[in-house]
Each structure stands twice: as C-alpha cells, then as structure tokens.
Amino acid sequence: MPSIPNRENKNIEFKEKLVPSIHLKDVKKQHLASQMKYLLEIGKGTAVYVIGVDDDGRSKGLSDLEFEETLNVLKVVTAENNANIVKVEKFTDNGNLLGKIVINKAFANGFKSHIVIASSGHVNHGKSTLLGTLMTGKADTALKNWLFLDVLPHEIERNLSADLHYALLGFKDNKPLHLKNPLDKKERSRIVEQSDKLISFVDAPGHEGFLRTAIRGVVGQDIDYGLLVVAVDDGVMNMTKEHLGLLLAVNLPVIVCMTKIDKVGKKKMEDAELQIEELLKHVGRIPYLVKDGNDLNVVIDKLDTIVPIIKTSAVTLEGYDILNKLLLALPERRRNLDKPFLMFVDKIYNVTGVGTVVSGTIKQGRLKTGKELLLGPDSAGKFRKVKAASIEMHYHRIAEADTGFVVGTALRGVNYDDVGRGMIICDEELKPHTVKSFEADVLVLTHPTRITNGYEPVIHLATVAESAKIDSMSREYLKAGETGEVKFTFKYSPHYMEEGDRFVFREGKTKGIGTVTRILS
C-alpha cells in the first residue's frame, strides 16, 4: 500500500485540497500552473502531487467529492503545462483518504508513422464492429464491439451511427497493441505513446439520412486510405456505391472488407464476391482477393489501381490476422511538413476550465504548442489571432502534431460561440484569404435531368458545407456523366480555399465532383 512520500525529491508537492470555484480563477490557476511548470522542470519532466495532506505532510484526508474536485483542478492545470496525468493512486493513512498523482511532460511524437483511414459502407454492414474488434483483438461473441467507438446515447438506442466516430490501432514491433477498454482515455493515450505506427480511423455513418455527415468524414478529413465495408448477407447496396464514389472522388486508394462471413453459406458468399468485383470493375479498379501474406506482397505497391478484398468475421476473428498485416504494411504518404500549418475546424467544444477546443485533421504543416495562429474567416471574412494552448491526439497530450494527425487543440483568445465548422486555424505566414466566388472544372455524377445557370447545390470542401449558386457555365447545361467549367458564388459566407482543391457538390439526388481552377473574389 502506498504511503506518504517525503520531500527528498523536490518535484513532489503536498496539497490539502483544491477547489474548482477558487483555484480555477485566473490568478490562482496561473499560480498553480507556474508551480507545476517548475516541478516538471526540476523533475526532468515528472511532477508528483500528494493530496489530502498539509504542507508538512501530515494526513488530513479528503471526502470522495473533494478527491475528485482536486483531481479535476490538477487536470486543468496539467493541460496548461502541456502534460499528462499518467497515474492516480488512492490510499489511506490513519483512516484518511489520500491520493498520489503523477504527471509527465508531453514530448514530441513518439511513433514513427501515422496514417488516417475512412471507414465507410451501407448501414448495419459492420463498420463500427470491425473497428471495435480491431482495437480489442477480441471476438465479438456478445455483439457489442461497436459500442467501443464511444457512440452517443441515441445511437445506442437506435443501433445506428449518426455522427463521425474515431478509433485507433497502434503497432509496436510489428504487432498490434490492443486495448482492454477502448472507452478508457488513459488506454488510448497509452497506445499513442507506445506505438511505432499509429492508424486513426474515421468511422462514417452508413444511413442514407446521414450522407452529409459521411461526406464530411471523407472530404473533411485528411484521409490516406478508404476502407469500404460490405456485409456478405446483404451484398452491395445503394450506400455501398455512394460511399465508394466518395472515396474515389477524392482519389483515395480503397480496401474492401467483406464482413459477417460466418452468417452465410458458399453460394451467398460467391454472390457477394461477384457483386463487389463487378462494382469495382465498373469504376475502373481491379479487385484482388487477399488470402495470405504472399497476396499482400502483390497488391501493396499497386493500391492506386488494385483494390484488395479481405473476408472477415468479427465473431470468429477470421481474416483479422491478414487485415492487421495489410494495415501494418500500408505506406505512409508524403507529408506537407514544409508548408505553413493549416487545419480546417471540424468540431468545437466548450471544456470547463480549459475553454474553447477545436478538433480536425491537419491538412499541412506542423502544429506546435504555444504557437500564435489565425482563426477564420468569420461571416465578415475576417481572421483573428489565437494561441494553441495545448494539443491532444486520442486523449494523449503531445507537444507537436504533423500533417494528417487528427487532433484537438485548446485555443486562447476566442470564445466558443465565435468558432464555426468550416473555419481554419493556420500559421500567419500562410496569409489566408477569403473566397466568395471561384471557377471550377466539374463532373456531374448523377442528376435526374440537367444542370443550368442558377442551380444551387451544397459545396462540401474539407469541413465547409455551404450553399453556392452557379452564375455561369461553359456549356448551356450539364447532364450526368458530363464535364464543364462553371462559376460558383457562395450564397451566405466566404470561406478559405486554394486553387487545386477538390470538392463534392450535392443537392437532392444530384451529386458531382469538382476542382477549383481559379479564385475570383
């Protein structure tokens, strides 16, 4: 059983208790932050707090509520110092409840490579179950692994994903690092800290009613690969085709996972294989059924044209060894680290004691803690100065983050209500501009009739989702399968974009893709 340590090590601090309403006010919080910074420095990156004792180390004790309040204050101050709470111990001394909290300074990224994969496919085809099983390495005999993606209460009630969810898989010494409880933030943090290679998954909803959210998952994140999930008991469905079209629209290499193979016989399996092969050939990709490591060697350097297909069962774990080997072998793409930092804002949070936190995937450059940044544009097209106070990736605090990392960062200098999805945070040297009108080359994928001047779709570019009107076209009209040059003008607010950016446009059953060719105003 732990005992009260002495102060021979100068990085140990005694605290009787900390009260949020007192110690999280500006002056008190700043004092605690400065004190912790000093402890971390003299402790070479480690600070230890013993709570429930007075300054002389005499046991005073805490109630359960006081213990949690003190711990919460230390969490906030830890964030201020870009550090992590790595251990919390409860123990008693003469019947008094005490605690020992160990805090480590966050250092630069410890893993060697990182890739981001978008998981997509028709509703109830097993996307979330696949990822939950990958994370735990455990067979889904209770049919509950999909809950490990931290789903929302109404999603649990309806057994239906409605928002983007995130998963991670780490590899160390060429073996997957599994989580006993993926919902435990400390476990996720451990995976980030220990991995040689880290894979972040963006799980998109498969229901047609949430197609807009699925588009945001594929287009709005900086994705490296697409993982298309097809349940063999259903085969290729409408949203299978929709999601494959999205993945190909942004030029992603695609992997297909056939799920639920334990539920069907040989004939049904063959039918599903044939449907998938015909679908891939129809879009100009070559299907290739992966059965062992030798097959992986064939496809791994040809993913721009060949689509590996892996049969899996979350119940029996069949196929998961091959899938893990493929994920481990996936090459990391080139990172734009030499460019100024840029990230589109996807989600915004108002965290008690921390303030405004935004999350998204870094599009280019490197984000460092303490960096002065620009945020915008607002509805008037203006940018404001903010500061990145801290950075987290899968609940693990890091000192810096590179292109492709899915991160959350606490911003200083802006209120929660002043931040919106589709804004960017960036280095000042990027010199960002606002765009109201632009020209683009477009391809109409589907449309019941034809597109003419005045047509108003929703433009999906990164995390931007904004109505835009076609003011002029190079042709009188465009039908499905046709290309042309058009001029778009955003209907409400200006946004940030660059020439060469790709986007998806959608309105009702109409869908198309485009590339920005010229910024007009």
Q: Which two tokens stand for residue 240?
A: 């299978």
CATH architecture label of 12-105: 2-Layer Sandwich (3.30)
Q: Where residue 209 falls among pLDDT bands split at 50, 70, 90?
A: low
Q: Which two tokens stand for residue 174?
A: 């060429």
d(CA 204, CA 297): 29
163 exposure class (CB count in 10 Å sphere: 0-12, 13-18, 19+): middle
pTM of the shown model: 0.68
Q: 242 vs 422, which has greater pLDDT?
A: 422
The mean pLDDT value for 499-514 works out to 85
Q: Contact at 8 Å (CB) between 196 and 111?
A: yes
Q: Where residue 210 falls among pLDDT bands split at 50, 70, 90?
A: very low
pLDDT given for residue 148 in this prediction: 57
ω before 176 within 30° of 0 (cis)? no
Q: Contact at 8 Å (CB) between 264 and 233?
A: yes
The mean pLDDT value for 492-506 works out to 92
d(CA 136, CA 101): 28
State which fold the 342-430 domain adopts. Answer: Elongation Factor Tu (Ef-tu); domain 3 (2.40.30)
Q: Are 12-105 and 342-430 the same fold in CATH?
A: no
The mean pLDDT value for 79-102 works out to 85
Q: Of 232, 157, 239, whose CA–CA distance to 204 is shortest?
A: 239
Residue 76 DSSP one-character state: H
d(CA 105, CA 371): 18
The mean pLDDT value for 183-197 works out to 81
The CATH number fitting domain 113-329, selected from 3.40.50.170, 3.40.50.300, 3.90.420.10, 2.60.40.1110: 3.40.50.300
d(CA 257, CA 287): 12
pLDDT digits over 236-294, tens only? Answer: 998 888 888 888 877 889 999 999 999 999 999 999 999 999 999 998 999 999 988 78
Give me the residue label for tokens 């110092």.
Answer: 81
pLDDT at 401 over 50: yes
Residues 6+ apart with CB under 8 A from 477: 450, 451, 452
d(CA 409, CA 470): 36
In the sheet that holds 113-121, the strands lie side by side as 175-177, 165-172, 197-203, 113-121, 225-231, 254-259, 306-311, 286-289
pLDDT given for residue 413 in this prediction: 94
The mean pLDDT value for 173-192 works out to 83
Q: Which two tokens stand for residue 417?
A: 């209500």
pLDDT at 423 over 90: yes
pLDDT digits over 2-61, tens only? Answer: 566 665 567 899 999 999 888 988 888 888 988 898 888 788 778 899 999 988 888 889
pLDDT digits over 118-144, tens only? Answer: 888 888 888 888 998 998 899 987 766
The mean pLDDT value for 436-443 works out to 95
Question: Where exactly are the structural domains of the chain?
Answer: 12-105, 113-329, 342-430, 437-519
d(CA 507, CA 521): 24
pLDDT given for residue 431 in this prediction: 93
The single-letter code of the amino acid at 410 is: A
State which fold the 437-519 domain adopts. Answer: Elongation Factor Tu (Ef-tu); domain 3 (2.40.30)
The mean pLDDT value for 83-91 works out to 84
pLDDT at 159 over 50: no
Q: 473 vs 449, which has greater pLDDT?
A: 473
Q: Are strands 12-15 and 46-51 parallel, antiparallel or unpaired?
A: parallel
pLDDT given for residue 184 in this prediction: 78
Residue 509 DSSP one-character state: T
DSSP letters, 314-357, are: TTT-TTHHHHHHHHHHPPPPPP-TTSPPEEE--EEEEETTTEEE
pLDDT digits over 362-388, tens only? Answer: 989 989 999 999 999 998 999 999 999
pLDDT given for residue 154 in this prediction: 41
Instruction: Lowest mean pLDDT of 99-103, 146-150, 419-423, 483-487, name the range.
Output: 146-150
Q: Contact at 8 Å (CB) between 399 and 369?
A: yes
pLDDT given for residue 39 in this prediction: 87
pLDDT given for residue 222 in this prediction: 72
Task: Give the distance from CA 16 to its chain's centroid.
Answer: 39
Residue 181 DSSP one-character state: -
Q: Of 500, 521, 344, whose CA–CA distance to 436 is shortest?
A: 521
- Outline where DSSP puts E strands in 381-509: 384-393, 396-397, 400-402, 406-412, 424-426, 437-446, 458-461, 464-473, 483-490, 502-507
pLDDT at 110 over 60: no
> Highest mean pLDDT range out of 27-41, 42-56, 63-77, 198-212?
63-77
Q: Contact at 8 Å (CB) between 479 and 488?
A: no
What percentage of the chain carries pLDDT values higher than 70? 88
pLDDT given for residue 488 in this prediction: 97
pLDDT at 206 over 70: no
pLDDT given for residue 325 in this prediction: 92
Q: Are strands 306-311 and 286-289 parallel, antiparallel or unpaired?
A: parallel
